[in-house]
Chains A and B, each alone.
Chain A
C-alpha cells in the first residue's frame, strides 16, 4: 500500500469511528428520554403529563368492550395486568382491535377516564395460518386442563 493510500485509509477510518461513537452516544441519550407511551400504572403514579395529550399503551381487557348503540362511541378498559384505565373513543377502530390485543391510544385524561383521539393496534412478529393458531390454543387448553386436574 502506498503512503498516500495508507494516509487516506487511516483518515477515513478515524472519521468513521468518530461518527460511530457520536451516533452511539446520541442513541444512548435518546433511549433514556424517549418515551413513546405510558402504561396505566405509570399514569396512575402521575408520570404522564397532566392535562396535555399523551399515548396510553396496554392490552384491551377481556369482556370490557361496550359499544353505545347508534353511534361510533366505544368504551373499554386498558390494562397492563397490574392497573386498569377506562378509555372512551369515538371513531373507526383498526381491524386488529379486539379483546386481549395490545393497543396504543392517543388522547388525554378527562377526570378519571382517558378520552382517546386515536386508537392504534399493535401486532407482534408472529405469523402463522389460522389452523396452526387454533391447534396451539387447543393444545394449551388441554395442557391447562391436565395441570388443573390434580387439584381436584
Chain B
C-alpha cells in the first residue's frame, strides 16, 4: 500500500481526522480571511465599473463565488454520500451531513444576491426562467437532505437515507449549469470559462477568482469544524473522546 492510500485509510478513522482537522482549522480560516480581504479590496476599489451595468455589477463578486460553492458543496456532499452508501465509512457520512447546511447557506445567498442584482438590471426580483428555477430546486434539495437527516432517530441510518436523497438530487447539478445554454433564459450565459477565453476584463476577473478561492477554503474550514463536533457526539462513548476530557471530569463518569 503506498503512502497516499495509507493516508486516506488513516484519515477515515475518527480520532485521526479529529486531530488532522484541528491542526488545519486555524490555517484554513486565516487563508480564507486573507484571500477574502484581498478579493474584496480588488472587487470594490481596483476593479473598474462595467460599461453597461456601471457599479451594480459588483454584486457579482458575492453572487458568483457563492453560486459556485452551492454546486461544489453539493458535489462534495454527494461524493461523500456515495462512499458512505457503498463502503459504510462513518467519516464520509459525517462529512456529507456537515456540508449540507453550508451548501444550503451558499445557495440561499446566491438567490438573495441574484434577486437584489436582478431588480435594478433586469427590472424584476424574480422570474421563472430555467436558471433561477433550477437554483431554487437546488436549495430545496439541500432542505430535503437536512430535513431527512433530522427526521430519523438513528444517526447512522439517518445519514445513509439522506445521502441517498443527495445522490438522487445530483441530476440537478448539470441542469443548473447548462440551463443558460439549453433554454432561452433571462439570466446571462457563462462569463468565466475554464477552457477558452473568459468574457470579462482581466482587471475585473482576478478579484472574482481570489474570492472563489477564499470561499472554497472557507468551505473546508467550516466542514472540518462541523465534522469535529459531529464526531465527538457520534463517538461520545469511545475511549479517544474520553481521553480528550480534562482528567477531573473523566474520573466522575
Q: Kindly identify, within residues 27 to 48 of chain A, every residue whose CB is under 8 Å from any CB belonging to chain B.
A: 27, 30-31, 34-37
In the complex, the answer to whether A120 meets B122 with C-beta atoms within 8 Å is yes
- B203 at interface (Cβ–Cβ under 8 A)? yes
List of B residues within 8 angstroms of A31 by Cβ: 182-183
List of B residues within 8 angstroms of A16 by Cβ: 167, 170
Query: Chain B 69-91 against A: per-residue CB contact (8 Å), 1 yes, 0 no?
Result: 00000000000001001110000
Stretch at the interface among A65-73, A78-86, A129-137, A142-150: A129-137
In the complex, the answer to whether A20 meets B51 with C-beta atoms within 8 Å is no
List of B residues within 8 angstroms of A15 by Cβ: 167-168
List of B residues within 8 angstroms of A97 by Cβ: 123
CA distance A9 to B48 in the complex (A): 51
The contact of A36 among B185, B190, B199, by CB within 8 Å, is B185
- A122 at interface (Cβ–Cβ under 8 A)? yes
- A63 at interface (Cβ–Cβ under 8 A)? no
User: Given that A23-B175, A36-B185 are known contacts, is A125 also in contact with B123, CB under 8 Å in the complex?
Assistant: no
**A interface majority secondary structure:** mixed
Q: Kindly identify, within residues 124 to 183 of chain B, every residue whose CB is under 8 Å from any CB belonging to chain A.
A: 124, 127, 129-130, 167-168, 170-171, 175, 182-183
Q: Kindly identify, within residues 229 to 243 of chain B, every residue whose CB is under 8 Å from any CB belonging to chain A.
A: none
List of A residues within 8 angstroms of B53 by Cβ: 95-96, 123
CA distance A15 to B170 in the complex (A): 12
User: Given that A27-B175, A123-B52, A132-B201 are known contacts, is A8 also in contact with B183, CB under 8 Å in the complex?
Assistant: no
- B49 at interface (Cβ–Cβ under 8 A)? yes
Query: Chain B 99-135 against A: per-residue CB contact (8 Å), 1 yes, 0 no?
Result: 0000000000000000000001111100101100000
List of A residues within 8 angstroms of B186 by Cβ: 36, 104, 120, 122
CA distance A93 to B57 in the complex (A): 18
The contact of A126 among B60, B130, B183, B191, by CB within 8 Å, is B191
Q: Kindly identify, within residues 91 to 128 of chain A, every residue whose CB is under 8 Å from any CB belonging to chain B.
A: 92-97, 104, 118-128
List of B residues within 8 angstroms of A23 by Cβ: 171, 175
List of A residues within 8 angstroms of B13 by Cβ: none
In the complex, the answer to whether B87 meets A126 with C-beta atoms within 8 Å is no
The contact of A129 among B123, B185, B203, by CB within 8 Å, is B203
List of B residues within 8 angstroms of A127 by Cβ: 50, 57, 60, 191, 199-201, 204
CA distance A7 to B155 in the complex (A): 23
List of A residues within 8 angstroms of B12 by Cβ: none
In the complex, the answer to whether A94 meets B120 with C-beta atoms within 8 Å is yes
User: Given that A36-B184, A120-B186 are known contacts, is A12 also in contact with B85, CB under 8 Å in the complex?
Assistant: yes
List of A residues within 8 angstroms of B48 by Cβ: 129-131
User: Separation in Å of the A3 CB from the closest CB of chain B?
Assistant: 13
In the complex, the answer to whether A123 meets B185 with C-beta atoms within 8 Å is no
User: Given that A5-B86, A96-B122 are known contacts, is A128 also in contact with B168, CB under 8 Å in the complex?
Assistant: no
User: Given that A97-B123, A127-B201, A129-B50 are known contacts, is A12 also in contact with B189, CB under 8 Å in the complex?
Assistant: no
- A19 at interface (Cβ–Cβ under 8 A)? yes
List of A residues within 8 angstroms of B121 by Cβ: 94-96, 121, 123
User: Using a CB–CB distance below 8 Å, which chain B residues touch chain A?
Assistant: 48-54, 56-57, 60, 82, 85-87, 120-124, 127, 129-130, 167-168, 170-171, 175, 182-186, 188-191, 199-201, 203-204
23 contacts between A and B (CB under 8 A): A12-B85, A22-B171, A23-B175, A31-B183, A34-B183, A36-B129, A36-B185, A36-B186, A92-B123, A94-B123, A96-B52, A104-B186, A122-B186, A122-B188, A123-B121, A124-B189, A126-B199, A127-B57, A127-B60, A127-B204, A128-B51, A129-B50, A129-B203
The 7 closest A-B pairs by CB, nearest first: A94-B123, A133-B51, A129-B48, A23-B171, A127-B200, A125-B191, A125-B189
